[in-house]
Amino acid sequence: MQVITDYRLLTDEILIKLLKADDQPALKEIYNRYWKSLFLSALQKVRSREVAEELVENLLISLWNKREMASIQHLPCYLQAGIKYQVINYLQSKIIREKNYRQAMKNQEALEDKTSETMLLIHELSLAIEKATRKLPEKTQLVFRLSRFENKSVKEISAFLDISEKAVEYHITQSLRIMRLQLKEFILVSMLICFCCPAGFF
């Protein structure tokens, strides 16, 4: 078998035959022969040297992977068509990535706006609750704080304050009635954001 010493002297037709016979130097010669024209074609569309180089490399890898089944009549035309599809696929992927990124940013901004608004409402509600709590009678206020802020049970409050459980229940009922009156303008807000507030405020 004759050893090929200079692939640059071979025609495209012979290079294609060698390529189909798994001859890697043939692929290298095709690359050397056509990379510049392919690179310039890609660069004109993608405006990035790095991306253009990557697309040319992808095309040559694809050519090697499909060498056995590829139907190549005219190598330059085949390669130019190949780089065209590489560019199209890249631009389509870029458009999808940018669209997804913009949507993600919009979702993030909407979430941040929603969170800021919710936190402001919670802050205002907390201030209103504290203001209303201070208006309760001293004993009622203490029972309310132990019940709603420290989550103590009626039995625990009864033992802690040395009063009957009935008295504790009375103070809790009174405090809730007064708080509802004091905070009637915030009731709807509290219903909307109650999942963010300490359980059992109202």
The tokens describing 12, both together, are: 């495209």
CATH number of 135-196: 1.10.10.10
> For residue 8, how many C-alpha atoms fall within 13 Å in the half-sphere facing its CB?
2
Short-list 5, 63, 73, CA closest to 35: 63
Look up tokens 């402001």; give the residue. 120
Neighbours of 147 (CB within 10 A): 21
Phi-psi region of 198 (alpha: psi -120 to 50; beta: other; left: phi over 0): beta
**Dihedral sign (CA 100, 106, 110, 112):** positive
Calpha distance 106→126 (Å, rounded) = 30
- DSSP for 117-140, written as a single string: HHHHHHHHHHHHHHHHHHTS-HHH
Instruction: Give the burial class of 38: count Cβ atoms within 10 A of its Cβ; 0-12 exposed, 13-18 middle, 19 or more buried.
Output: buried
Domain spanning 7-98: CATH 3.60.15.10: no
Query: In this structure, are residues 133 and 141 in contact, taking their beta carbons and an 8 Å threshold?
Result: yes
**Dihedral sign (CA 148, 151, 153, 159):** negative
Q: What are the residue ranges spanned by the domains of the chain?
A: 7-98, 135-196
pLDDT, greater one: 80 or 98: 80
pLDDT, greater one: 170 or 128: 170
pLDDT, greater one: 82 or 198: 82
pLDDT digits (tens, 9 = 90+) for 82-91: 999 999 999 9
pLDDT digits (tens, 9 = 90+) for 29-75: 999 999 999 999 999 999 999 999 999 999 999 999 999 888 899 99
